[in-house]
Amino acid sequence: MVGIIFLILAGLLLIIAELIFVPGTTFVGVIGLLLTIVGIFIVFDDYGNTAGYWTTAGTAAVTIIGIVYSFKSKSWDRFSLKSSIQSKVNDEDIFTFQVGEKGKTVSDLKPIGKAEIFGKIYEVRSKGEWIGAGQEVEIIKIDSKRIFVEPIK
């Protein structure tokens, strides 16, 4: 009987570990679910239907109580993300640029990359073509803080 209790408790602990410590992997949760099911089937096999139903009900009750308690006690809050990124791409005032200004790519544009314009590095876009790093570019359009460039030929 101790072995059966151990199987069921180990299964429930693995399911909880899946939810808290390794979410998304499903491997630990599946192993936990299998251990719990095996424990319940052993109770049905060794002790009969009545004991099996009581064990199933008890396991379900413990699982539900654990989930409800964990949400009500806000124990999940310590695992949730509380910060967010506040910065934006090209947050500076890029409207001082004019169409026709020139710069040099710092990275490859595939079609988005970085370019140095007036000594500062900005995220820029091409019209879809690949532009290699170190190439001279010209601003062809500024749209909602996005800088579009094309290579100078």
Does 28 score more than 90 pLDDT?
A: no
Query: What is the Cα 130 distance to its own chain's centre?
Result: 30
> What percentage of residues in the chain have a pLDDT greater than 70?
87
Name, in order, each residue with C-beta under 8 angstroms of 9's C-beta and a sequence gap of 6 or more: none
Q: Cα 142–126–112 angle (5° rounding)? A: 100
Query: What is the Cα–Cα distance from 15 to 19, expressed in whole angstroms?
Result: 6
Q: Same domain for 11 and 56?
A: yes
Q: Based on the fold, state whether residues 68 and 104 are members of the same structural domain.
A: no
Same domain, 108 and 138: yes
Does 44 share its domain with 70? yes
In which element (H, E) is residue 74 found? none
CATH number of the domain to which 139 belongs: 2.40.50.140
Residue 86 placed within a domain:
no
Give the domain range for residue 48: 2-79
Span 63-97, pLDDT tens digits: 888 777 777 777 666 667 777 777 666 556 555 77
- Give the tens place of pLDDT for each residue, 98-129: 889 999 999 999 999 999 988 888 889 998 88
Residue whose entry in the numeric block shows the structure tokens 């996005």: 146
**Sign (positive/negative) of CA torsion 64, 69, 71, 72?**
positive
Residue 62 lies in a domain: yes
Q: Identify the domain boundary among 79, 109, 126.
A: 79
Pair (53, 29) in one structural domain: yes
Give the type of residue at 149.
V
d(CA 131, CA 127): 10
pLDDT of residue 107: 94
Is residue 13 domain-resident?
yes
| pTM value surpassing 0.85 | no
C-beta of residue 125 within 8 angstroms of C-beta of residue 146: yes
User: Which residue blocks in the chain are alpha helix, DSSP H?
Assistant: 2-20, 27-47, 49-72
Asked if 120 contacts 94 with a C-beta cutoff of 8 angstroms, the reply is: no
pLDDT at 38 over 90: yes
- Position 89 in a domain: no
If one counts the domains in the chain, the total is 2
Q: What is the mean pLDDT of the chain?
A: 84
Q: Is the pLDDT of residue 21 over 80?
A: no
pLDDT score recorded for residue 91: 57
The pair phi, psi for residue 18, each rounded to 5°, is: -60, -45
Both 75 and 99 in one domain: the answer is no
Please tell me whether residues 73 and 12 are part of one structural domain.
yes
